[in-house]
Each structure stands twice: as C-alpha cells, then as structure tokens.
Amino acid sequence: MKKTNSKVLWDLFFTFFKIGTFTIGGGLAMLPVIEREIVDKKGYINKEEIVDAFAVSQSLPGVIAINSAIYVGYRIAGFIGALVAVLGVVLPSFIIILLIAVLFSTVSGNPIIDKALTGAKAGIAGVIAFAVVRLGKRIIRDIFSLVLAVAAFIVAFLFDINIALIIILGALSGFVFYRLRGDKEKWF
C-alpha cells in the first residue's frame, strides 16, 4: 500500500476536479487536458505511460475519464488516490447536471442556448481530432502500426463491431507481428 500525505490527495482531487470542470465534450475531449495536467504540469507520470493509461482506459468498460482517473490516482496514491481522483473528475459533472435538471424548463428551446451548444459541439469535434493526431504521432512508429490503425478505423467505421474486440485484435496482431519479426525485446 502506498503511503500518501494529504497534500498529494488534495492535489489529485483538485487536478481532476479542474479537468472535469473545464473539459466539455466528455472522455475523448478530455484526453489532451488530462495529458497536459498529469504529464506536462504535474509530472505524475510520463508521456509513454499516459498513452498506455489511455489505451487501457479506452479498452475497459466505463467512461475513459473515470478510468484514466482511476489509473493515475492509483498509480500516484494507491486505492485512496484512485477514489480521490474519481471523485474530482465526477463531481463537476454531477453538479452541472443537477443545475441543468433544475433549470431545464427555463432554458429548453432557448435559441441562444441552442446556438451556444452547436458551437460547443463543433469545438469538441476539433479537440477530439487534436487528441487523435497527438496520440497518433506517438503511437504510429512504423508501417505496421499505421496499417493497423487505418484498418481499425475502417473496421470501426464500417462495421458494428465492439471497440474492445478491435483493441484486443490489435493487441494480438501487434504481439504476433513483432514476435515473428524477431524484435530483441524480452518475451515471456
């Protein structure tokens, strides 16, 4: 069990609270913000590990932001760190949804609100595209990973296949390809 002081726990909570508060668009839109806060600003984990965290978080059931919070929180401060990080990332959404539910009847159908939400959705699409390009630059290192990424995109786009299955098949393909290629890394 990791021994953690309250300063680290508060920092985890407020870091993920900030991520949850200022990231509109959910999980994929949060990826660049999570990376900037956790890797660049806080230095909790390195760039390679955040890519692994995102891959694991995306392949598990649940929300990627919560899964990432669990991963990072646990990595930094054990079980209690995971709980604190999850509370931090979830609490802003809970508060905002509660306020919207209370105020919905007054703002429903308001043309100004509708236009603002349309603009926000376009911005979210841009942020998600940015996250994809940024992660892709780190992950796609050779022709095999490029072909695998394009194939996964095509399969996900054209067919109704569970994303987790695509990720598992990608992992198996990578394992077999690099094993057959004879990479000098340690194999079990």
Residues 119 and 165 in one domain: no
Count the domains in the chain.
Answer: 2
pLDDT of residue 1: 43
How far is 62 from 84, CA to CA, in rounded Å?
17
Residues 172 and 92 in one domain: no
How far is 123 from 29, CA to CA, in rounded Å?
10
Tokens 């990424």 sit at which residue? 149
Question: Domain range holding 168?
Answer: 140-183
pLDDT in tens, 110-143: 888 788 878 888 888 888 888 888 888 878 888 9
The pTM is what? 0.59
SS3 138: helix
How far is 37 from 44, CA to CA, in rounded Å?
9
**Which residues have CB under 8 Å from 56's CB, separation 6+?**
67, 71
SS3 64: helix
pLDDT in tens, 68-85: 899 999 999 999 999 999
- Within a domain: residue 22? yes
